[in-house]
Amino acid sequence: MKWDSILYDTKHNFVSKYGEDVVQLLNPQKGEIILDAGCGTGDLTAIIAASGAILEGIDLSKEMIDHAKEKFPGISFTVASLTEYEKPEFYDAIFSNATLHWILDKENAIEKMFENLKYGGRLVLEMGGKGNVREIISAIAKTLKKHGFGERISNRQWYFPSIGEYASLLEAHGFTVEYAVHFSRETELKSEDGIKDWIKMFGKDFFEGMDKTTVDSLLTEIQSSLFPTRFYSNKWHADYKRLRIVATKS
In the chain, DSSP assigns E strands to 33-37, 54-59, 76-79, 91-97, 117-128, 176-189, 231-232, 235-248
- Beta-ladder partners of 78: 58
Closest alpha carbon to 112 in 38, 31, 4: 38
- Tell me whether residue 83 or residue 157 sits nearer to ligand BEZ (CB atom): 157
- Selected from 41, 45, 132, 225, the binder of ligand BEZ by CB under 6 A is 132
48 binds ligand BEZ (CB under 6 A): no
Burial of 93 (0-12, 13-18, 19+ CB in 10 A): buried
Q: Say if residues 177 and 244 touch (Cβ distance below 8 Å).
A: no
Min separation Cβ 101 and ligand BEZ, Å: 6
- Selected from 3, 85, 95, 202, the binder of ligand BEZ by CB under 6 A is 202
Give the x/- contact pattern for ligand BEZ in 151-170, rule: CB under 6 A: -------x------------
Min separation Cβ 186 and ligand BEZ, Å: 12
- Selected from 56, 240, 243, 247, the binder of ligand BEZ by CB under 6 A is 240
> In sequence order, which ranges of 62-130 are alpha helices (DSSP H)?
62-71, 106-116
- Selected from 11, 67, 101, 122, the binder of ligand BEZ by CB under 6 A is 101
Per CB under 6 A, which region of 85-93, 126-134, 143-151, 167-175 contacts ligand BEZ?
126-134
Q: What is 213-250 written as a DSSP string? A: HHHHHHHHHHHHHHHHHHEETTEEEEEEEEEEEEEE--
Burial of 110 (0-12, 13-18, 19+ CB in 10 A): buried
- Tell me whether residue 85 or residue 198 sits nearer to ligand BEZ (CB atom): 198
- Tell me whether residue 121 or residue 129 sits nearer to ligand BEZ (CB atom): 129
Size of the site for ligand BEZ (CB under 6 A): 8
128 binds ligand BEZ (CB under 6 A): yes
- Binding site residues, ligand BEZ, CB under 6 A: 98, 101, 128, 132-133, 158, 202, 240
